[in-house]
Structures are given as structure tokens and as C-alpha cells.
Amino acid sequence: MSGTCTSKFPRVKFSSDRIAMDCEEHLEIVNFSGEVIGYAPRKHLHGNPSLIHKVVHVLVFNKNGDILLQKRSEKKDVAPGKWDTSVGGHVGIGEDLPSSSKREMYEELGITGYEPEYLYSYIHSNKYETEMVTTFRCLCERGFSFNEDEIDDLRFWSHDEIRNATGQQILSDNFEHEFRTYLGYLEGNFF
């Protein structure tokens, strides 16, 4: 199927509403209020932290409160080989956040039949990108299946294990920010 675009979302050129003929992933550019102000190819957003794009995260917990982390493939362009949020991905053009979270849960871990619960939103920025992150959570302990081209491993981590790994170049900077935000949420010190 070389050259065939299979996405259900239109591929829109940056600063234009014309549909592009390529299959490169395009995303919405948003302002700090989350309002769509344009569109750009993923490659323009990754590498330009002045452009904000939307992502969803889902924290998957077991009954003990441990958080499932995924070890990103060494082939990934962002945080290769690092342990990262249970589920995370870009919000498609025109896609609502709950639908995006369920789509990502299925695509990354094979999880279906769950309604993730909204937790919070925040901005994550580093030298590579700026993301408007919306985080959900769900309880799911087994039945995971993942694409080995995207993910090298999965395992549940206790809060103490995560704290001990923080700052050790084991976790992605995105997940370290997520975990600090989650702890602030639990302690009522969120925004």
C-alpha cells in the first residue's frame, strides 16, 4: 500500500485549509487557551517549541495504585529507550479529547471497553516541542498487547520506584513532568 493515506483525518497544509496530497501526519496548532490557530506537519511541530500541539496521556493503574509505564522503542524520535507515560499520543485534527484517549489506549496497548476519567491539563515544553497535555486515568491490570516497533517493554511501577528513577535518565522528561503534575493533583496543589 505504498503511497496510500489511511488516516481518517484530513492532511492540511500549514497556514492553509487546503488538503495536502501527502500522507504525512498533520496536527492542529493551538494557543495557550487550546484554540486552533493553524495546522502543521508533525515534523514542523517536533523541533519547534514555539508551536503548541495537543496530546493526550492516559495513566493506567493497577488495583495497588502502581502506574503502568511503557519503554519507548529505540527507534522513536522523542525519548528513545526511555520509560514513559502508560499511553500518550497526538490528538487528531477535529478529534475530541475523550475519543483521542480511547483511540490511543487501543493503538498503543490494545485496551478497549474502558471510559478513561479526565484528571487535568497542562503545558509541557522542552527544547524539542511544546505540548498541551490532557491527562486521563483508568484501572486496567492485564490483557495488554503492543506494537513491538513502538514499545520495547511494559511494567507497573510503584510511586517509590518512579521517585527513585527520576533524574537518572531512565524516564522521559515528559513523564517526569507528568508524574510531578499527578502528585500535585493528588496533594491538591494543582494550579
Q: How far apart are CA 107 and CA 125, in angstroms?
A: 25
Q: How far apart are CA 155 and CA 147, in angstroms?
A: 15
- Whole-structure pTM value: 0.84
Per-residue cell: 137: 486515568
List, in order, residues 6 or more apart from 184 with CB less than 8 Å away.
Answer: 190
Structural contact between residues 111 and 68, judged by C-beta atoms closer than 8 angstroms: no
Per-residue cell: 73: 522503542
Residue 122 belongs to domain with CATH number = 3.90.79.10
Number of domains in the chain: 1
> Quick check: is 27 in a domain?
no
> Quick check: is 143 in a domain?
yes
**What string of pLDDT tens digits covers the 191 residues of the chain?**
223 333 333 333 333 343 343 567 899 999 999 999 999 998 889 889 999 999 999 999 999 999 999 999 998 878 899 999 999 999 999 999 999 999 999 999 999 999 999 999 999 998 889 999 999 999 999 889 998 888 999 999 999 999 999 999 999 999 999 999 999 999 987 55
> Quick check: is 8 in a domain?
no
